[in-house]
Structure 1
Amino acid sequence: MGSLFEELEAREAAARERVDDLEDQLAEVTRRLEEAREHLERLRIARETVSEVMAEMSAGASATSDSAPVEPVVTGDDHEPSAFAGAERRVVGVLSVPHWRPGMDTQALPRIYRDIVEVVRDAPGPVRAKQIVPRIGLPAEVGKIEGTRGKLKRLVARGWLDEEDPGLFTPARHEAETAANASMKQGSSP
């Protein structure tokens, strides 16, 4: 009987060692997974930040180019324009949000911004970013809410929305006034 107990103890020790080894491997894989998730999140945030900055630069460049001619960039003593003159003002492939002007429709906006404006318009009252995120098909995660909040702020700055209280967004008043004026004109037409 003694040898049976010794054999069971040896097998138990081997099983315990295997469990410990697997737990160590699991801890290592979990640590690596967390590092990979953090790296992915940093890349996503960097991409969104760069897109926002490029969009703002593009909008600023178009406003600048509408109002002032572009001066050639002179390099060295030869006074020839650089091949890159004005290149910093041309941004390709970036979504930009134009400033609202009378008669402008949401079709001028990139799709995600158009969706946000439509959700705000359809809401019965002021809405917060966290209420908009699920309505535009995004998961209600902190990163998505913050990204949407940035887009809402940009829409406010460009005249598409109003922010009556901090974090509460409504359709811009001028849009309501424009709609009211249009309905009044239709009502007064013969």
Structure 2
Amino acid sequence: MVTLPYFYRDEVEVGAMVSLPEELETREAAARQRVEELQAEAAELAVRLERARGDLSRLEITRETVAEVLAELSAAKTPVERDLPVEPVTGSEEASVPHGVGVMMVPPWREGLAVAVLPDVYRDIVEVVADAAGPLQAKQIVPRIGLPPTTGKIEGTRGKLKRLVERGWLEEDTPGQFTLARRGPGRDGPNSQ
């Protein structure tokens, strides 16, 4: 028989006579069960995280693909686009401007037409060119409009620059060097129109 030191005797005699090894086994079993529960939760969270990452990736790819398709469609000049009248957009009308297939997203520049009629990325490009001290290349514009300086983004921006030149917003006196059109927007300042 094991003799307990005097300071344990009162607890053992007063208590329900539970042995120390039994109490440790009970606590160990409870801890093991809690670990198994947490591992199951962690596994479930890992599965949910992977699903969410897959959803995010698909949405990012879809958004980029749609943007590329719309940019290509707006680059193609269709007879319908040439016949569309372009009216200046002001304040509350801005939200009702349609964007999409069959609608000219970058209208030809004309006197009184505000930069605000342009889609966001085109407006950003015009503003960057307007703020520049001299001609800019596509690779200089890309980081200034918040895009990574990858070949794809530079080429996409070059296409947008060419479209802005075709529509009279910018000029390309030297190949690859873009400036504001002399008669175009922002000659009095980038946001004056």
Gap regions ≥5 residues in structure 1: 66-90, 134-139, 183-190
Query: Within 5 A, what are the aligned runs for 1:16-27?
Result: 16-27=35-46
The alignment status of 1:116 with 2:125, answered yes or no, reads: yes
Using the size of structure 2 for normalisation, the TM-score is 0.55
Query: Within 5 A, what are the aligned runs for 1:169-180?
Result: 170-172=178-180, 175-176=181-182, 178=183
Distance change (3 Å), C-alpha of 1:5 and 1:152: same
Deviation (angstroms), 1:46 = 2.5
Query: Within 5 A, what are the aligned runs for 1:11-160?
Result: 11-57=30-76, 59-61=77-79, 91-92=101-102, 94-98=103-107, 107=114, 110-112=118-120, 113-125=122-134, 126=136, 127-133=140-146, 146=153, 150-159=156-165, 160=170
Q: 3-state DSSP class of the match of 2:114?
A: helix
Q: CA RMSD for the aligned pairs? A: 3.8
Deviation (angstroms), 1:30 = 0.9
Distance change (3 Å), C-alpha of 1:13 and 1:28: same
> In the alignment, is the contact (CA less than 8 A) between 2:142 and 2:149 conserved in 1?
no
Aligned amino acid, residue 17 of structure 1: E
Q: 3-state DSSP class of the match of 1:128?
A: helix
Q: 3-state DSSP class of the match of 2:178?
A: strand
Task: State how many pairs are aligned.
Answer: 139
> In the alignment, is the contact (CA less than 8 A) between 2:105 and 2:119 conserved in 1?
no
Distance 1:131 1:53 in 2: 22
Deviation (angstroms), 1:150 = 2.1
Deviation (angstroms), 1:61 = 3.3
Deviation (angstroms), 1:151 = 4.3
Moved over 6 A (4+): 163-166
The alignment status of 1:3 with 2:11, answered yes or no, reads: no
Q: 3-state DSSP class of the match of 1:171?
A: strand
Distance 1:30 1:17 in 2: 20
- Structure with the higher helix share, 1 or 2: 1
In percent, how many aligned pairs have the same letter? 22
Deviation (angstroms), 1:162 = 3.9
Using the size of structure 1 for normalisation, the TM-score is 0.55
Q: 3-state DSSP class of the match of 1:96?
A: coil
Distance 1:128 1:64 in 2: 28
> In the alignment, is the contact (CA less than 8 A) between 2:142 and 2:148 conserved in 1?
no
